[in-house]
A and B are shown apart, each in its own frame.
Chain A
Amino acid sequence: MEKPLTQHVRRDGEMLDLRAYEAVGGYQGMRRVLRMDPREVQQLVKDSTLRGRGGAGFPTGMKWSFVPMGPDAPHPKYLICNADEMEPGTFKDRLLLEATPHQLIEGMSIAAWAIQAEVAYIFLRGEYVESARRLQKALAEACEARYLGRNIFGSGYSLEMHLHTSAGRYMCGEETGLLNALEGKRANPRTKPPFPQVSGLFGKPSIVQNVETLCTLPHIVNNGAEWFKKLSRTADGGTKLYGASGKVKRPGLWELPMGTTVRELLEEYAGGMREGLRFRGLLPGGASTDFLTEEHLDVPMDFTAVQKAGSRMGTGTMIVLDDKTCPVGMVWNLEKFFAQESCGWCTPCWSGLNWTERTLRALEEGRGREGDLEKLAYQTWFNAPGNTFCALAPGSAEPLQSALKYFREDFERHIHDKRCPWK
């Protein structure tokens, strides 16, 4: 089984430095694209069917095609790596950042060439201190080798790349919130249009791309679109970093063909539930995805199939709920997170989430009342897509609405028993 992204991850946990990365073919993809027309690179990525790994699954090649090209395009253009990774339950980008920072730098250079950007930023969450150290080291190595900077490989193309470490807020991961944060502002989202591809960072054309998305690019360039498509078992090309946390036997992270089923991940890779525990459900890709249950175990984990099953693949790192853990308590924990991280811009989000959080707390503390569940359901409707500025609020509704559906009896017991049955 091919694992392009993680095949060179060192077992001792150290990073692959420049020399080691080059020894396994590193920076060949970048050399190759500099001899290609940028439009050709865009077409290659379109043909590969690559979809963004940050959670929304937007087709990467298509995103690039909205960037103005040619002599009249505004400059500088910006390429930004989203390494904010604050979605609860998500721990996939950290591996790529720490283990193979040069793979990311090469991927970013390829994307930057494809849109003819001359400045790139890595937007890294502040708590990823070890990632920051290693990225700094890798950036210094790449600059020294003149893989970054002026006139790269004598091509006449120049690219600066900077690391920005954030000061912590979930909204910084939202594309336009991130742009504001990089400009030294509060990470409130921006109205679209204009779309960042046309007018983004400092008003210039900008592309924001997830770490994992960018890391796939050298491999697509080296091996071609057809190869990339064949890595997958489904129509969404490539491999995917999948993970599992919660009370499974072997929590972890695995690079596997896109479309590996939920059951394989849960039973084979995560080893099933710990002794004495039963599986109740899981969030397939982070806090802002709908629960899946027993009936969904044979769903392939790709963007299309998980959506069909009523959820989203999101980040692909699943959070597993067992029968000794209270589903209402779990959802309360999630909604507390969303309420705290709401930026306060839109009413349904900040006021609705506060209210949701308090209601769930009351249920957990035995103060639930008849009618609470209907009110919670109403809140999920209130925060549906289209009612708010950004996707935080609709994301917050996903675990709640699905919990109300699949664990309804547990919610009702909290009200009738006037206490949490798990306490």
Chain B
Amino acid sequence: MPLSAEERREIEAEFPRYPTRRAVCIDAMKIVQRHRGWISDESLEDIAQLLEMSLDELDGVATFYNLLFRKPVGRHVVLLCDSVSCWIMGYDRLRERLCSKLGARLGETTADGRFTLLPIVCLGACDHAPAMMVDEDLHRDLDPEKAEQALENYK
């Protein structure tokens, strides 16, 4: 599916903010991901063309960044902080519970396509560790029960 008019408009709206087109590429990939959940080979080609970049160059950028998904993800993305303060405060138990509840390991998507579970670097909520994000929401002061409950709100 080629870039929609809306995606294109949003990407072009970024142009005046940078002196080169290429500088827009991360924003552009984030825009497409916001609309489609992930960035397919085809989307990548369309973006490369719009920004006058080679496909290899753009893919090199895409694969460098943790929050750009080059594979399909579930309806909701769970980012579980695995950095040091959360580790001290009970990350291992949290991960075990979420993995067993979801029937998915880190990096995997549930069979029903509802959740993708990913590890993430320190979320800057260390005084309320352990922490995770679900889509755009931060959840703090978690324990396995609270984490499990929090997921109930994402259908």
Q: Give the interface residue-count category, chain A.
A: 35 or more
Q: How far is the CB of A80 from chain B (nearest CB, A)?
A: 13
Interface size of B in residues (CB-CB distance below 8 Å) = 41
| B78 proximal to A (CB < 8 A) | no
A329 to B29, CA, bound (A): 37
Asked if residues A185 and B127 are in contact (CB atoms below 8 Å), the reply is no
- The reply to whether A88 and B19 form a contact with Cβ atoms under 8 Å apart is no
Interface residues of B in 81-140 (CB under 8 A from A): 82-85, 87-89, 120-129, 133, 136, 138
Task: Kindly list chain B residues whose C-beta atoms are within 8 Å of the C-beta of A337.
Answer: 83-84, 121
A181 with B87: CB separation less than 8 A:
no
Give every chain A residue within 8 A of B11 (Cβ-Cβ).
Answer: none
Any B CB within 8 A of the CB of A325:
yes
Say whether A333 contacts B121, CB under 8 Å.
Answer: no
- B90 to chain A: closest CB distance in Å? 10
CB-based contact A334/B65 at 8 Å: no
Minimum distance in angstroms from B68 CB to a CB of chain A: 5
Which residues of chain A have C-beta atoms less than 8 A from B88's C-beta? 245-247, 319, 321-322, 325, 330
- CB of B26 within 8 A of CB of A184, answer yes
Rounded to whole angstroms, the CA-CA distance of A162 and B136 in the bound complex is: 21
Q: Which of A177-222 contact B (CB under 8 A)?
A: 181-187, 202
Q: Assess whether B26 is in contact with A89, with CB atoms less than 8 Å apart.
A: no
Identify the interface centre among A91, A186, A317: most chain B CB within 10 Å of its CB: A91
A88 in contact with B64 given A170-B121, A246-B89 (CB within 8 Å): no
Of B25, B83, B128, the residue contacting A184 (CB under 8 A) is B25
Interface residues of B (CB under 8 A from A): 17-20, 22-27, 29-30, 51, 60-61, 64-68, 79, 82-85, 87-89, 120-129, 133, 136, 138
Q: Can you name 24 A-B pairs with beta carbons within 8 Å?
A: A88-B126, A126-B67, A127-B123, A164-B27, A167-B30, A169-B64, A182-B23, A184-B18, A184-B51, A186-B61, A202-B19, A243-B127, A246-B85, A247-B88, A247-B89, A251-B126, A252-B127, A319-B85, A319-B126, A325-B88, A330-B88, A333-B83, A333-B84, A337-B121
